[in-house]
């Protein structure tokens, strides 16, 4: 706990839209999100973008770049928030001081890879209805691990265009799919607020893999 507190001594308050780094930048420090949401993405040649990941409070950003000389994607703050810079030197000292924390960081990286694998299957082999349900349920599970008191409602500060960039669909298709799910009584969306009347049913429709959030990984990550 003392080591973790040391890492959070210099929090940086950032506004929505702040770029933490750009694709191709020299790889440097990692960031831990204390407050707020961020996304990583790549710009496409046709002017569109593909959102690769969504980061929530408690997530560490930059683990995927750890072994590379340059950043693999752009990272922007989606909302205002607070991030903590994790320098390579401080991380190295952390590993030396606590093998348990080093193992936990490695486990977080493995968990992220598992989630990315699940998303790849979701993007490539499922319908728009299943894709959107899967992503909404993933966010629900991740947020519930942070705050068990959210019940069946939570804030999702993602526009229809951001959701389209995540799922490889058009914003119009996202809107229509939300309408279909609302008519079925599965997902209600009120601006940035999501309500899931029956989370278990959404899980079944999304074909969400329980392995991507196994109990062992939950304990390590949360």
Segment 89-144, tens digit of pLDDT: 777 777 777 777 777 777 777 777 777 777 777 777 789 999 999 999 999 999 99
- 126 vs 202, residue with greater confidence: 202
**Where do the structural domains in the chain lie, given as residue ranges?**
2-97, 109-221
Burial 30-49 (b: 16+ CB within 10 A, else e): bbbbeebbbbbbeeeeeeeb
pLDDT of 13-68, one tens digit each? 999 999 999 999 999 888 989 999 999 999 999 999 999 999 999 888 988 887 78
From CA 131, how far away is CA 195, in angstroms rounded?
Answer: 17
Q: Are 112 and 64 in contact (CB under 8 A)?
A: yes
- Rounded Cα distance between 129 and 41, Å, is 23
Burial group, residue 75, by CB count within 10 angstroms (0-12, 13-18, 19+): buried
Cβ-based neighbours of 134, under 8 Å, separated by 6 or more? 118, 122, 126, 206, 207, 208
pLDDT at 222 over 70: no
Asked if the model's pLDDT at residue 76 lies above 80, the reply is yes
CATH no., domain 2-97: 2.60.120.10
Name the strands in the sheet holding 81-86, side by side, starting at the edge strand that comes first in the sequence: 11-14, 81-86, 30-35, 60-61
Give the pLDDT confidence score for residue 55 in this predicted structure: 95
Q: What is the largest CA-CA distance in the chain?
A: 55
The model carries a pTM of 0.84
Give the per-residue pLDDT at 7: 64
- What's 109-221's CATH class? mainly alpha
């Amino acid at each position: 706990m003392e080591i973790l507190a040391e890492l959070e001594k210099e929090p940086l308050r950032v506004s929505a839209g702040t770029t933490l780094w750009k694709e191709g930048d020299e790889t440097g420090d990692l960031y831990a999100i204390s407050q707020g949401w961020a996304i990583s993405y790549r710009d496409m040649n046709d002017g569109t973008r593909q959102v690769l990941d969504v980061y929530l409070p408690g997530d560490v950003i930059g683990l995927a770049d750890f072994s590379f000389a340059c950043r693999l994607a752009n990272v922007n703050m989606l909302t205002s928030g607070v991030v903590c810079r994790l320098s390579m030197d401080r991380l190295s000292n952390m590993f030396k001081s606590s093998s348990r924390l080093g193992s936990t960081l490695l486990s977080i990286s493995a968990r992220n890879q598992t989630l990315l694998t699940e998303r790849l299957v979701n993007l490539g082999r499922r319908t728009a209805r299943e894709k959107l349900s899967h992503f909404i349920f993933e966010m629900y599970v991740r947020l519930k691990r942070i705050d068990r008191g959210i019940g069946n409602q939570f804030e999702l500060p993602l526009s229809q265009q951001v959701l389209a960039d995540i799922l490889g669909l058009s914003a119009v298709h996202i809107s229509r799919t939300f309408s279909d799910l609302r008519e079925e009584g599965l997902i209600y969306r009120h601006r940035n607020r999501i309500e899931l009347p029956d989370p278990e049913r959404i899980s079944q429709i999304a074909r969400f893999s329980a392995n991507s959030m196994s109990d062992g990984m939950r304990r390590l990550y949360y």
